[in-house]
Amino acid sequence: MVAVTVNSLKPLAWTPFLSSLNSFNWAWSFVSIPRKTSRLRPLSCQMAASEGDTQIMTKVIDSHLHVWASPQEAAERYPYFPGQEPSLPGHVDFLMECMEEAGVDGAFIVQPINHKFDHSYVTSALKKFPSKFVGCCLANPAKDGSGIKQLEDLVLKDGYRAVRFNPYLWPSGEKQMTNEIGKTLFSKAGELGVPVGFMCMKGLLLHLQEIEKLCTEFPSTVVLLDHLAFCKPPKNDEERRGFSELLKLSRFPQIYVKFSALFRVSRNPYPYEDLSQVLAELVSSYGAHRVMWGSDFPFIVAECGYKESREAVSYLAKQGHLPSSAMEWIMGKTIMQLFDGKWSDIAN
């Protein structure tokens, strides 16, 4: 278990999304981001009628989001990786405004591909808001093994508390994450006490054997499966097998699942109603104490809105008849426990 010193910090005041863009003299100020809409009335209105049935949660923690520099910041100090210039605003001050408006107390920042292995922007956010954020660095699987030292430095010197494995960054022709470099990185993460997050963007089945092998050989390394391991609500045999394998992975006690980026796995528009049964089955297999909500900010802002992404989970849990105690775990207690009670000192 990882121990991190966390300071108290009161939430900042919120200003609306468009106002926040116009308040900065950046290239994003002229960008209009359409938000996908639903014919359903706002979930906040739907849930208000049953507010008395819902237990007030002390902390809400977003287990998956990204931040990257504004164009001005990129030009001056934090350059984007060539060819990975973002099309959406994702600077940390915008995130703070969204979190305040949504009532989200803290977040787990995953290093974005937009800066690739240059962690300086995320590191600056972690230092600026030490009580709000925990950082997840990006594993560098370079053949020369330089990524091992990079991981150690990011954890021991810069305070990162997790590492992401993006299998599509492994050298072509390699046996992906179970090659010598992958095993060393995975083992080192366990030694350092930091979880490994897997991004299975091309499907869980493609990476299932690697994940099983790593978890079997290195049971002390905690694992986070991002975005339900990209398993959609099953409609054909291959999807049913993929979702079944996701549930079977619960046999590894070190595996946790992020119920995150719902727009990426749902076939329905907001509030993603086809995921209510998926959530119920995840909780049945893993227990709520191994499931955590994540927004996938800033991508979610254009899909339904940041606040709405939080409300969608409450709606889906209600549809799936999950108790309020399960929601407390999913919305914050799971990730707080995983990181030894971090964020617990944030003032309500």
**Mean pLDDT of all residues in the chain?**
87
pTM summary value = 0.85
Q: What is the pLDDT of residue 69?
A: 98
Judge whether residue 10 has pLDDT over 60: no
User: Which has the minimum average pLDDT: 13-17, 182-186, 243-247?
Assistant: 13-17
The model's pLDDT over 204-240, given as tens digits with 9 standing for 90+, comes to: 999 999 999 999 999 999 999 999 999 999 999 999 9
Percent of the chain whose pLDDT exceeds 70: 82
Write out the chain in H/E/C secondary structure: CCCCCCCCCCCCCCCCHHHHHHCCCCHHHHCCCCCCCCCCCCHHHHHHCCHHHCCCCCCCEEEEECCCCCHHHHHHCCCCCCCCCCCCCCCHHHHHHHHHHHCCCEEEEECCCCCCCCCHHHHHHHHHCCCCEEEEEECCCCCCCHHHHHHHHHHHCCCCCEEEECHHHCCCCCCHHHCHHHHHHHHHHHHHCCCEEECCCCCHHHHHHHHHHHHHHCCCCCEEEHHHHHCCCCCCHHHHHHHHHHHHHHHCCCEEEEEECHHHHCCCCCCCHHHHHHHHHHHHHHCHHHEEEECCECHHHHHCCHHHHHHHHHHHHHHCCCCHHHHHHHHHHHHHHHCCCCCCCCCC
